[in-house]
Structure 1
Amino acid sequence: MTVSSVVLNVAALSDTGLTRTANEDSVLAASPVFLVADGMGGHEAGDRASAAVVAAFEPLAGATIEVDDVREALGRAAEVVEGIAAEHKRGAGSTVSGVALLEHEGTPHWLLFNVGDSRVYRHHGNELTQLTIDHSLGQELVDAGELRPEDLATFAQRNVITRAIGGPDSTADSWLLPVIDGERLLVCSDGLTGEVSDEGIRAMLTMNGRPETAAAALIRRALHAGGRDNVSVVVIDVVSGGSRTRPADDGTAGLAAASALTDSMLEGTTIPVRVR
């Protein structure tokens, strides 16, 4: 199996929401890279920050890529966003979460990468698994045992993030996961997860067959729940070309460290890739 044999169906949607005047989210869905960036810093600064992240990854569209290509794109994004932040009193930054399709040990894999609180989920069968771990104050409190996971959704400071592209810490976490036939990946901004529970997301992904139908249903659900933020989603279905079954030791990424595949080459944009 090679990356070129993988067949995907993909849909991407972004909505300003019901209370914001501008959309500070940016989306890229151009195989082999799929990502969502959520800009911060207010109108213009946030817009530019998330657009800069997408622009840094656009040269990878249509290419055969390796881990280093993603690292270098993150480095380009951080450099540009830092420049944007310097131009604005409030600063600027952006989250980014996404997946890149590449070959590892002769088989297709997803390279997941994440900075901030945008997320990547995997839907397989009827199960939904959050693959990324938020870089947020709320998640840190959960990890420290000071906040119950079930209270995270109502935590007043849940939107305070601890890492961002262009911020003091822009370190990206990443993992390599095998591509599985029949799986559905969701990349989304917190405009979705702040309005819709994981169970609600799971239900929408289960009940809606085509990616474009599922993406539209997720956006509608977030708007119906209040639409208090920009909301962006990328839905990726693996039609064929991946593994037929999930490896027995393949668990939720981010919950435990595995062997490091590569070390940092760019300070502030480290992606310590772990193989799961």
Structure 2
Amino acid sequence: MNIDRMAVQNSIFYWMQRTVKEKGCIATTGQVAIGSTRGIVRQDNQDRAAVVTFYPSDKLSETVNVAVLCDGIGGLQDGANAAALAISAFVSQLVGLSDDNLKGQLSFAANKANGEVFAKYKGRGGCTLSAVSITKAGPVEIVNYGDSRVYLQNGNGLVQLSTDDTLDGQLAKMDRHVGVSLPEFKHLVQFIGMEGEIDTSSIDINKIKDGDQILIVSDGVYGVEFQFMEKILLNSNSAESSIKKLLLLSEWVGGVDNATAIILPAFSFIDEYESIPHGMFEITTWSSGCFFSIVEMNKQHFVSTPNVYVAADLHNPADKMKMSQKAKRKRITKNKQKLSGPEEQTKSKGEVSQLKIEFNDGEVD
């Protein structure tokens, strides 16, 4: 299938540019929940996260579900935009691929995101990236760069699966302890936006069972005591309830950082997406507060003149207002786009891919 990845990337990047409301937003669908809050101290929210479902190009493959979270590095330039760029580049590299060797594809997509963020910011901007892919056949695959975290919650409690890319995290991984904790030990040794290739090591989960849950969080969530996080997850009756409590807890203890969390069940929600027709792909993306859906049908011929979006300047207040107004529309159908994304897309007349994007407002707490 010939997929216009740049169109997909631009669409997701544009969507990720919206402003998350101050009090925080939560979006849910079935047993999946995703939420984010700015916190009390920070002036903006530099966390970005999404849950993406798409049908691969291989007719024999299964629906692939990917949850990804990026936390913009506050001390560097444009953390929020770096996180949006990383997610859009990461997801656009995965759509249309086979579910075979997802581990390698996740690592490839992460390196693609790393390259694009570095190309834009030259090391002056970056973010973390934590991603989990789930298919019905398994196994669950994880990649993690930076200090956002991935946990597994099952009948035995809450277990951290990822390793922080900090000196503290690497020493703990090697079971070495120096007996002292210095601020420098918390500095990132790897993140998205570095020059060259990033370490492509990933994590397999072979013993995950239906009924288990995956939790992905930024450091604004896990900055609280581990036992409180665990008790919230074990004693909440829904993913949405867990997310609300985790975000509230992060504010109750000071709200010094942005806090974002994703909860998704291991396998049970996948059945909802088994009816997508072959010969097309669908991406349904949930993000804090709302979701959008991209449907691309390969090689569709258009008779009408395509709608064109003029590239917006994110630093221009007038353009910001226009983008905010567009984001409030319930449905936007686009035959052709020209967006303020990572790169302006161009297409020749004739056979082009159709992008259909749906916006739906979510609940605000």
Q: TM-score, normalised by structure 2?
A: 0.56
Task: State, as a whole percentage, how many aligned pairs show the same letter.
Answer: 27
Question: Is the partner of 2:158 in helix, strand or coil?
Answer: strand
* Cα pair 2:89 2:109 within 8 Å, conserved: yes
The amino acid that maps onto 1:174 is S
**Alpha-carbon distance in 1 for matches of 2:107, 2:262:** 21
Q: How does 1:49-64 map to 2 (within 5 A)?
A: 49-59=82-92, 60=94
Matched residues in 2 for 1:207 and 1:63: separation? Answer: 38
Which residue of structure 2 aligns with residue 71 of structure 1?
107
RMSD across aligned positions (CA):
2.7
Task: Say if 1:176 and 1:144 are closer, same or farther in 2 by CA, change over 3 A.
Answer: closer
SS in structure 2 at match of 1:108: coil
User: Residues 60-93 of structure 1, C-alpha deviation per residue, up to 9 Å, x if partnerless?
Assistant: 469753424323321220111102222xxx7011
Write the deviation string for residues 209-242 of structure 1: whole angstroms up to 9, x where unpaired: 2111101111111111111111110011236489
Greater Cα radius of gyration, structure 1 or 2? 2
Task: In structure 1, give the amino acid aligned to 2:99.
Answer: I
Structure 1 counterpart of 2:227: 199
In the alignment, structure 2 segments of 5+ residues that lack a partner are 1-29, 54-64, 271-365
Counterpart AA for 1:111: E
CA distance in 1, matches of 2:90, 2:99: 11
* Counterpart-to-counterpart distance in 2, 1:18 and 1:147: 34
Q: Aligned ranges for residues 1-276 of structure 1 at < 5 Å?
A: 9-31=31-53, 32-42=65-75, 45-59=78-92, 60=94, 65-66=99-100, 67=102, 68-86=104-122, 91-102=124-135, 107-142=137-172, 143=174, 145-148=176-179, 155-157=182-184, 159-168=186-195, 170-178=198-206, 179-194=208-223, 196-238=224-266, 240=268
Tell me how far 1:51 sits from its aligned partner. Answer: 0.6
Change (3 A) 1:43 1:114: closer
**Matches of 1:159 and 1:229 in 2, distance apart?**
15
Secondary structure of the equivalent of 2:202? strand
Q: Cα gap change, 1:158/1:223 in structure 2, threshold over 3 Å: closer, same or farther?
A: farther
Q: Is the 8 A contact 1:222 1:231 kept in 2?
A: yes
Shift of 1:41: 4.9
> Retained in 2: the 8 A contact 1:33–1:61?
no
Flag structure 1 segments of 5+ consecutive residues without an equivalent: 1-7, 243-276
Deviation of 1:117 after TM superposition, in Å, equals 0.8
Instruction: Report the alpha carbon displacement of residue 46 of structure 1 after superposing the two structures with TM.
Output: 0.6
**Distance in structure 2 (CA, Å) of the matches to 1:235 and 1:241:** 12
Alignment-mate amino acid for residue 233 of structure 1: A
